[in-house]
Amino acid sequence: MNRSNKIERLLWSIAFPGFGQMLNKKYIKGFTLIVLEFVINSNAHLNQIIILSFNGEIKNSIESTDYHWLMFYPCVYMFGMWDAYKDSGETADYAYLPYVSGAFLGTVGLMYSAHLTIFGILLGPVWMPMLFAFLGIGIGIALFKILYQKKP
What is the structure's pLDDT at 149? 83
What is the structure's pLDDT at 1? 59
Number of H helices, E strands in the chain: 9, 2
What is the structure's pLDDT at 144? 95
What is the structure's pLDDT at 102? 98
What is the structure's pLDDT at 46? 97
Q: What three-state secondary structure class fits 1? A: coil
Q: Name the stretches of the chain with pLDDT < 70.
A: 1, 151-152
Q: What is the pTM of this model?
A: 0.90
| Cα–Cα separations (whole angstroms), residue 103 to 29, 36, 99, 113 | 19, 16, 6, 15
What is the structure's pLDDT at 108? 98
Per-domain boundaries in the chain: 3-150
